[in-house]
Chain A
Amino acid sequence: EPEVTQTPSHQVTQMGQEVILRCVPISNHLYFYWYRQILGQKVEFLVSFYNNEISEKSEIFDDQFSVERPDGSNFTLKIRSTKLEDSAMYFCASARRDTEAFFGQGTRLTVV
């Protein structure tokens, strides 16, 4: 069964460093998303991406965040200068249509 794959599963980085979280969406999906979940809190929407551009983003997705689909398979989330409060699980999701999304297993980002 096809699935969304995220790497790495766990990333530890120092405050102020740049991190890139990687995702391989399901191959025939057209819509791509990033969500995050701070420990003990609910899942929050970050950004959606369709047709090679951002279609929607939340207030959380400020200038420190960017997304890219550098080739036909990968979808990345970059945080330019990490802060302690960026520590969270980051989930990538993809969808064939803009309805039900399939989530990856997540990347746990720890900023120290």
Chain B
Amino acid sequence: KNQVEQSPQSLIILEGKNCTLQCNYTVSPFSNLRWYKQDTGRGPVSLTIMTFSENTKSNGRYTATLDADTKQSSLHITASQLSDSASYICVVSGGGSQGNLIFGKGTKLSVKP
């Protein structure tokens, strides 16, 4: 069964600290993996998208890694800011149409002053 599992479920860190969020998937076939940021009550906003051949991709203070062999991805946030407080969702595309997007439940990150 195609699944995307994320850990931790929630995380609290102090402003300025770094953190790493994990994503494991069992989606096959695999097309790409995306990380989205979702503020409470808002739509998901894309942070990164990686294909099979990409190991790492950065977007400002966000760096995503992908190990397609172990089917794991991580999202590293550097020098966290209060505005980073949100849910971070790992989404895997099984290829074909957008309808094959498999969403994780997300990691709820709270950055405290």
Contact = CB atoms under 8 A, between A and B. Distances in A.
Interface in B81-113: 89, 91, 93, 97-99, 101, 103-106
B16 interface: no
B46 A100 contact: yes
Nearest to B104: A42
Contact of A44 (B36, B42, B89, B103): B103
A91 B45 CA distance: 12
A43 interface: yes
Contacts of B56: none
How many A residues touch the partner, as a band?
20 to 34
Contacts, number: 58
Nearest to A102: B46
Interface residues of B, number: 21
Contact of B42 (A33, A55, A95, A106): A106
A83 B46 CA distance: 31
Given A100-B34, A100-B49, A31 B44 contact: no
Interface of A: 4, 31, 33, 41-45, 47-48, 55-58, 89, 91, 93, 95, 98-106, 108
